[in-house]
Amino acid sequence: MNSKTIIYYLPRFLSIVLILYISLFSLDVFGEYTGWELLIALFMHLMPTFLLIGVIVVAWKRDLVGAIAYFILGFGYILMAGFDRPWSWYVFISGPAFLVGTLFLISWFQKKKL
């Protein structure tokens, strides 16, 4: 496997890992809700997951779109969470989004250079 293949697949693989990671945060609804409330709460908690799935579907073929989308999602989370949260919130949520966005950007530059 050469470096071009790794640069191509690494952001896609990490996007899937990020989707699974973000999905883990929805598991807290099982201890708090029951019945229809559980389904509604689970759907609400999985909305970021659905958004990320949509992004990766588009970004799979369009690296630049993936880079821009992940940067927007990273900054969007910071703005949505506010600036009064612990720094770890930003590192563990926005950090992976910025990393994936950067890798998509590198992949786009590599394709453009070819």
Provide the number of structural domains found in the chain: 1
Q: What is the pLDDT along the chain (114 residues), one digit of tens a residue?
A: 788 899 999 999 999 999 999 999 999 899 888 889 999 999 999 999 999 999 999 999 999 999 999 999 999 999 999 999 999 989 999 999 999 999 999 999 998 886
Cα–Cα distance, 56 to 65 (Å, whole number) = 9
pTM for this entry: 0.89
Domain hosting residue 104, numbered range: 3-113
